[in-house]
């Protein structure tokens, strides 16, 4: 992961393009440490979360996954950070990567970006990432994309409430947002964020333990073993008709 800082904005760049910025235990630990530093640094007004390569994040690293509790703690940390966190996407985002987008306060994506909840394709479900996502997403859209696993574009992602804006030039859109955040007071930002994240935080407090246990059970199931093996072997799982 790459850190940089400019005029009050710290940018955290996911930088493992070879494995499509999959969420490994190491990457989640690095993000957690960086966000802890940002929370304590009075020079940080806001945080940008972005990526190198063509994929924001492909979701959990199936070869070196973080613990479910660790990933939940990372999403909660983004939600409760007393500074805005803005996601910048210019490419693909999948599965657990969408949990990061849901946890962020704002998410800007290029119109050429695309998204998919691919969990159902490997025999599991988008369980723990539902905590930041379902309070933000339009219910019918969430039902469609959770159940089908189909790919959808940035326009549909914005209409669904998954992202804030689909932009012709994501960096131009980001520049405007960051200039606005630089004009806001740290106290104002912290208190405004508490208001807009209250429902999301309620979901974590209410559902975290249940969804972690549900997800763990799903990942340990024979169906998930078949789905993940098929994915790694680049073949269709046994249930495909």
Mean pLDDT within 3-23: 97
CB count within 10 Å of CB 27 equals 21
State the pLDDT at residue 62: 79
Percent of all residues in the chain with a pLDDT value above 90, rounded to a whole number? 97
Q: How far is CA 228 from CA 62, 122, 124, 221, in A?
A: 8, 6, 10, 11
List pLDDT tens digits, range 44-68. Answer: 999 999 999 999 999 989 789 899 9
Give the pTM. 0.96
**Element (DSSP H or E) covering residue 191:** helix 186-196
- In the numeric block, the tokens 């985002």 are attached to 93
Domains with residue ranges and CATH for the chain:
2-169 (3.90.226.10)
List pLDDT tens digits, range 153-171. Answer: 999 999 999 999 999 999 9
Please say whether the beta carbons of 132 and 79 come within 8 A. Answer: yes
């Amino acid at each position: 992961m790459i850190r940089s800082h400019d005029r009050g904005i710290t940018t955290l760049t996911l930088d493992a393009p070879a494995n499509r910025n999959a969420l490994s235990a190491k990457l989640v630990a690095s993000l957690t440490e960086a966000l802890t530093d940002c929370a304590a640094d009075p020079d940080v007004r806001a945080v940008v979360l972005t990526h190198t390569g063509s994929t924001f994040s492909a979701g959990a690293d199936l070869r070196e996954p973080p613990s479910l509790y660790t990933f939940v703690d990372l999403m909660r940390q983004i939600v409760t950070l007393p500074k805005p966190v803005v996601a910048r996407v210019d490419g693909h985002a999948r599965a657990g990567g969408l949990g990061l987008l849901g946890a962020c306060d704002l998410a800007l994506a290029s119109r050429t970006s695309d998204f998919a909840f691919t969990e159902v394709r490997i025999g599991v479900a988008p369980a723990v990432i539902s905590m930041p996502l379902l309070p933000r997403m339009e219910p019918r859209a969430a039902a469609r994309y959770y159940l089908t696993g189909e790919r959808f574009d940035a326009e549909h992602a914005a209409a669904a409430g998954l992202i804030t804006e689909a932009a012709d030039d994501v960096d131009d859109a980001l520049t405007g947002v960051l200039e606005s955040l630089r004009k806001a007071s740290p106290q104002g930002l912290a208190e405004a964020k508490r208001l807009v994240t209250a429902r999301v935080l309620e979901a974590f407090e209410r559902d975290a333990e249940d969804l972690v246990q549900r997800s763990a059970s799903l990942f340990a199931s024979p169906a998930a073993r078949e789905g993940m093996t098929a994915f790694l072997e680049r073949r269709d799982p046994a249930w495909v008709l």
